[in-house]
Amino acid sequence: MKNSVGYLMRVCTNRVLPQMEALFDHEELTFSQWTTLVALHDGRISTAGDLAHTICHDAGSLTRLIDQLVERELVTRTRSETDRRVVTLRLTPRGSALVEVLAPRVMNFWNELLSGFTHVEVDILINLLTRLVIATEDKVRGDKPSRLVISETPISVPILPSPPVSRSKAKKS
């Protein structure tokens, strides 16, 4: 199992999420709320549908999440005057300020976590994960996953042997 992509991704997710949640404890913010604020921060996403797709949430849980952020005055919801079905989401100044305060914490977390990787290895990891995300989206749409190359720069990386598994036992006193 230790060589299974699914298993390794699940282990990483299960270990990273609690640490990410701890970054937001003082603001009483969840990781899902954080990803929502970040997704809305640059203004490219402004509808609930786009937001749900971006942060991988279903409509019901997203509605509750947005309700919480609106109640905390971090997000506003505005119904379109031309199409009543469309609701525009925007960060409030308070929501934007919170993203600006927390973003360095998140960057520091990832920089620390990836400090044992070279810049090339991080680029390769990003490239491979991006390709995997695109492949999952293709599968959801019923498309055949394509052999994508995200980076045009050829990268040569030696294949390293798997690190030894550490099985340290607690010493008896």
- Tell whether 135 and 104 lie within a shared domain: no
Q: Are residues 95 and 122 in the same domain?
A: no
- 159 — alpha (psi -120 to 50), left (phi > 0) or beta? beta
- On whether both 52 and 126 belong to a single domain, the answer is no
Give the 3-state secondary structure of residue 76.
strand
Cβ pair 97, 37 in contact under 8 A = no
User: What local confidence, expressed as pLDDT, does residue 136 receive?
Assistant: 87
pLDDT value, residue 56: 87
Q: Decide if 38 is inside a domain.
A: yes
Residue 81 within any structural domain of the chain: yes
Per-residue pLDDT of the chain (173 residues; tens, 9 = 90+): 778 999 999 999 999 999 999 999 898 899 999 999 999 998 888 888 889 888 988 888 899 999 999 999 999 999 888 888 888 999 999 999 999 999 999 999 999 999 999 999 999 999 999 989 888 888 888 877 666 555 555 454 444 444 444 444 444 44
**162 assigned to some structural domain:** no
In a domain, 170, yes or no: no
Same domain as 79, residue 41: yes
Strand partners for 90: 76
Give the burial class of 23: count Cβ atoms within 10 A of its Cβ; 0-12 exposed, 13-18 middle, 19 or more buried. middle
* pLDDT attached to residue 43: 85
Total tally of structural domains belonging to the chain: 2
Question: Domain residues for 75?
Answer: 5-113
Q: What is the CATH number of the domain that holds 103?
A: 1.10.10.10
- The confidence score (pLDDT) of residue 165 equals 46
DSSP-derived secondary structure letter, 25: G
- Contact between 84 and 115 under an 8 Å Cβ cutoff? The reply is no
Residues 86, 40 share a domain = yes
Is 133 domain-assigned? yes
